[in-house]
C-alpha cells in the first residue's frame, strides 16, 4: 500500500489525508501531520441520505479523487469502532453496524486506511496540537453537532469509544436535548441551549471529575455565544483550538 506523502519543499513534513464523516456532512483535506495543520483547503460534501455504507464509501471515494490522493488516509466515523468494525451508528444508517469499515473504505478508495471514532480523532488532535496540549490528569473532549461525541483522556492517553452523548438526561439521550441539532430542531436561543448543555456537562462532571473540558464540533466556532453562560462546573471549559477541523487532523494523525 502507498506510504504517506512527502510534502514538497518542507523538509521532514509528511501529509496524510484526513476524512471526517458526520451525520450531515463529510469533510476531507490533506494534513501536515508534523505541524497538525491542513495542508490544503478542505472540501465538504453532504452525507448521502439514506446513509448506507456503500453510498457513503462512494462519497469518500469522490473526495479522495478530488485531491488526487494516493497516500495513507485516516477516516472518522460517528460511532463506536473496534478494529475497523462499526459497532454503533446512532446518527447514520443502522446498516453500518457490523461492517468492516476499514475494508470497505480501503476497497472503495484503493488506499491504506485507518478508521476511528470521530470524537476520539478530534480529541487526539486537540491533545497533540490544540487546547489540551500538555494537560495532565483527566480531560474530556465533547463535540456538539448532529449528536454529541466524546473523547476521554488521562495523562494524555485516550480511553477509546466512550459514548457519553448517550447518557440519560431527563429520560432521553443527552444528545437528543443538548446537541447542536437539538438546538436547531427546537429553535432554542443561546441561553436556553446553554442551560441544557450546562445540565449535561454537570452530570458528566459528577461521573468523571475532569480537570478540563474541551468543547468542539460545528458549534465551537460560536463558543463565545454559549460558553460564558455555563455556570455550574468546577472544571475549566475551553473551546477547541482547531474548531471543526480537529476530526480531520486527528484522523490523519492516526493513519500517519
pLDDT surpassing 80 at residue 115: yes
Helix axis angle, 53-67 to 101-109, nearest 10°: 40
Report d(CA 64, CA 71) in Å as an integer: 10
> With b meaning 16 or more CB within 10 Å and e meaning fewer, what string describes 66-93?
ebebebbbbbbbbbbbeebbbbbbbbbb
Q: Report whether 114 contacts 101 (CB < 8 A).
A: no
Instruction: For residue range 140-176, list pLDDT tens digits in order.
Output: 999 999 899 999 999 999 999 999 999 999 999 999 9
Return mean pLDDT, the chain: 94
Q: Under 8 Å CB-to-CB from 72, ≥6 apart: which residues?
A: 1, 2, 3, 4, 16, 17, 111, 112, 113, 114, 255, 256
**Longest alpha-carbon distance in the chain:** 55
List the one residue out of 103, 120, 105, 92 whose CA is nearest residue 22.
Answer: 92
Domains and CATH numbers, the chain: 5-120+246-255 (3.30.420.40), 133-240 (3.30.420.40)
* 215 grid coordinates: 468543547
Instruction: For residue range 25-61, list pLDDT tens digits in order.
Output: 999 999 999 999 999 999 999 999 999 999 999 999 9
Which pLDDT value is given to residue 5? 58
Report d(CA 67, CA 150) in Å as an integer: 29
Confidence band, pLDDT 50/70/90 cuts, at residue 4: low
Amino acid at each position: 500500500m502507498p506510504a504517506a506523502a512527502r510534502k514538497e519543499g518542507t523538509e521532514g513534513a509528511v501529509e496524510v489525508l484526513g476524512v471526517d464523516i458526520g451525520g450531515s456532512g463529510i469533510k476531507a483535506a490533506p494534513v501536515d501531520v508534523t505541524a497538525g495543520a491542513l495542508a490544503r483547503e478542505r472540501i465538504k460534501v453532504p452525507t448521502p441520505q439514506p446513509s448506507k455504507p456503500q453510498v457513503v464509501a462512494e462519497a469518500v471515494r469522490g473526495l479522495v479523487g478530488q485531491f488526487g490522493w494516493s497516500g495513507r488516509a485516516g477516516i472518522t466515523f460517528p460511532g463506536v469502532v473496534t478494529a475497523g468494525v462499526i459497532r454503533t451508528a446512532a446518527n447514520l444508517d443502522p446498516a453500518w453496524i457490523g461492517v468492516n469499515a476499514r475494508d470497505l473504505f480501503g476497497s472503495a478508495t484503493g488506499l491504506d486506511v485507518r478508521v476511528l471514532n470521530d470524537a476520539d480523532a478530534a480529541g487526539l488532535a486537540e491533545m497533540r496540537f490544540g487546547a489540551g496540549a500538555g494537560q495532565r490528569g483527566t480531560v474530556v473532549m465533547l463535540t456538539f453537532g448532529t449528536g454529541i461525541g466524546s473523547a476521554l483522556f488521562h495523562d494524555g492517553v485516550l480511553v477509546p469509544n466512550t459514548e457519553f452523548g448517550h447518557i440519560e438526561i431527563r429520560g432521553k439521550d443527552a444528545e437528543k436535548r443538548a446537541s447542536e441539532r437539538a438546538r436547531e430542531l427546537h429553535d432554542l436561543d443561546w441561553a436556553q441551549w446553554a442551560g441544557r448543555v450546562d445540565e449535561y456537562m454537570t452530570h458528566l462532571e459528577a461521573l468523571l471529575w475532569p480537570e478540563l473540558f474541551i468543547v468542539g464540533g460545528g458549534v465551537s466556532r460560536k463558543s463565545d455565544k454559549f460558553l460564558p453562560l455555563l455556570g455550574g462546573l468546577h472544571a475549566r471549559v475551553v473551546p477547541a483550538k482547531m474548531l471543526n477541523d480537529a476530526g480531520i487532523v486527528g484522523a490523519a494523525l492516526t493513519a500517519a
